[in-house]
Amino acid sequence: MDYIVRGGNRLDGEIAVYGAKNCALALLGASVLTDDQIILHNCPVISDVENMLLLLRTMGKKVLRSGDTVVVSGGLNTTAAPKSVASLLRGSALILGGTVARYHCAELPLPGGCAIGARPMDIHLSGLEALGVTVEHTADAVYCTGVPKGAQFTLRFASVGATENLLCACALAEGESTLANCATEPEVAALELMLNEMGAEISGVGQSLLHIKGVARLHGADFTVIPDRIVAATYLSAAAATLGDVTVRDCVPTHLDAFLNVLGTRFNVKRYENAVRLRCDALPDGYGTVRTAPYPLFPTDMQSLLLSLAACSRGKTTVCETLFENRLEHNAEQLNKMGGDVIVKGNVATVHGRKLHGAEVSASDLRGGAGLTVAALCAEGMTKISGIEHVNRGYADLAGDLNSLGADIVVI
């Protein structure tokens, strides 16, 4: 699947954000903790979520979708995730902690996802071992057995996925647990809130130090997936790249603080209770130096968007990617095909902005594909972007959404 983008159109108008992929996947992973109904509203219709639902269904869960509402109920009839489905998405790893906690065993093929770095599961597994779970693994799969027991564990890095898996494991563990250096992303806080609605006892919601009192049983919950801050940032980036005027509704502006702090000094940015408006009158003289880091600092998932904005600016930008070792290289190469001046050394990209032109480029990952789409919107002429199936993992209809604001994108 490809995008054909004719650049040069100014984007203008309003657009609403839908539910966050990374929130929905974590909440769906937690559904294995109970046989009761987990009802999720604002659940996005994107391929990663549909593959997660397929995984749960394949393992025995009953799954119903009506629009953006998903109902998951019943128990698992196998604790071994089938490789054919689990390999479709990185988020399949999020069933591990809950499955071990509920059924005291789990088998997980090493998950798939984007090719942006190693993204090891060592923190997940070390945490489970600290809880008394026996962990064995081969080059292709992980095997966990045992009853989780309360313990103290410090994550060596504030990993979102590891925090989510360990929260699920601790929720049904025997005794009390303390998790330190946890991820504090809004999607993690949403999981903590839903687990508490299910009967868990988690103290410190949204903080890096969490205390969990294990309970014997969790029940169902009715919960709403939070808005997708990465999708919101994509729309705002498209406005910035095209000298546009776009209002993004149904978002949480505080979730975008690090991103908006970079753009807000260069564009007219107004924050409302649940919306952000960005108006751009002229391209900026670069974006200074930006380093990716765990929340609440600048997100790695917005780095590709910033790289594209820097490439079409009028000045110098330095982007330092501290989380994923391969995330800069591919998009830098593709932007240079469009006339960009991006030099990558190690984990640092030095960008001198210039006028971009159309070219044939390819997306190798979800966020990179969105970033290339933003670059194509401001490029002169036509750009063909292949590999758009990666974009569909996290965007319901990126082309249609941008076209509603005045873009010219054809999907072929």
Kindly report, residue by residue over 95-151, the tens digit of the pLDDT. 999 999 999 999 999 865 444 444 578 999 999 999 999 999 888 899 999 999 999
Q: How far is CA 385 from the centre of its chain?
A: 21
Report pLDDT for 137: 87
Within 321-363, where are the H helices? 329-337
State the average pLDDT over residues 330-352.
Answer: 97
Phi and psi of 152, rounded to 5°?
Answer: -110, 135
Are the CB atoms for 376 and 352 separated by under 8 Å? Answer: no
Residue indicated by tokens 């996005």: 44
Q: What is the pTM of this model?
A: 0.96
What is the C-alpha to C-alpha distance for residues 398 and 396, in angstroms, rounded to an integer?
6
Any idea what DSSP says for residue 255?
G
Q: Which of 227, 291, 223 is nearest to 254 (CA)?
A: 227
Residue 181: strand, helix, or coil: coil
Task: Give the span between the Cα atoms of 29 and 288, in whole angstroms.
Answer: 39
Residue 90 in this model has a pLDDT that exceeds 90? no
Residue 156 is classified by DSSP as S
Mean of pLDDT values over 273-292: 97
Domain 21-224: CATH class, spelled out: alpha beta
Which residue in 23, 114, 144, 251 is the catalytic one?
114
Q: Tell me, yes or no, if 114 is annotated catalytic.
A: yes
Percentage of the chain beyond pLDDT 90 is 95
Q: What is the pLDDT of residue 119?
A: 52
Q: Kindly report, as residue ranges, where domains of CATH 3.65.10.10 are found in the chain.
A: 2-15+232-411, 21-224
Residue 275, strand partner residues: 249
- Residue 392 pLDDT exceeds 80: yes
Of 379, 380, 378, 373, nearest to 410 by C-alpha is 373
Cα torsion at 297, 228, 194, 299 (round to 10°)?
A: -20
348 CB neighbour count, 10 Å cutoff? 15
Count of beta carbons in the 10 Å neighbourhood of residue 265:
11
pLDDT in tens, 198-216: 999 999 999 999 999 999 9
The band of 282, judged by pLDDT with boundaries at 50, 70 and 90, is: very high
Provide the CATH number for the domain formed by 2-15+232-411 in this structure: 3.65.10.10
Please give the share of the chain, as a percent, with pLDDT higher than 70: 98
| Amino acid making up residue 1 | M
Cis peptide before 227 (omega within 30 of 0): no
Average pLDDT over residues 12-33: 98
Mean pLDDT of 377-392: 97
Beta carbons of 30 and 194 less than 8 angstroms apart: yes
Confidence of residue 240 (pLDDT cuts 50, 70, 90): very high
C-alpha distance across the termini of the chain, in Å: 6
The DSSP string of 47-101 is HHHHHHHHHHHHTT-EEEEETTEEEEES--S-SB--HHHHTT-GGGGGGHHHHHH
Residue 147 has what pLDDT?
Answer: 98
pLDDT of the residue at 107:
97
For 67, residues 6+ apart whose C-beta sits below 8 A from its C-beta are: none
Q: Which residues contact 209 (CB under 8 A, 6 or more apart)?
A: 178, 179, 180, 182
Q: Rounded to whole angstroms, how far apart are CA atoms 129 and 107?
A: 15
Position 124: which residue type?
A: H
**Average per-residue pLDDT for the chain:** 96
Report pLDDT for 279: 98
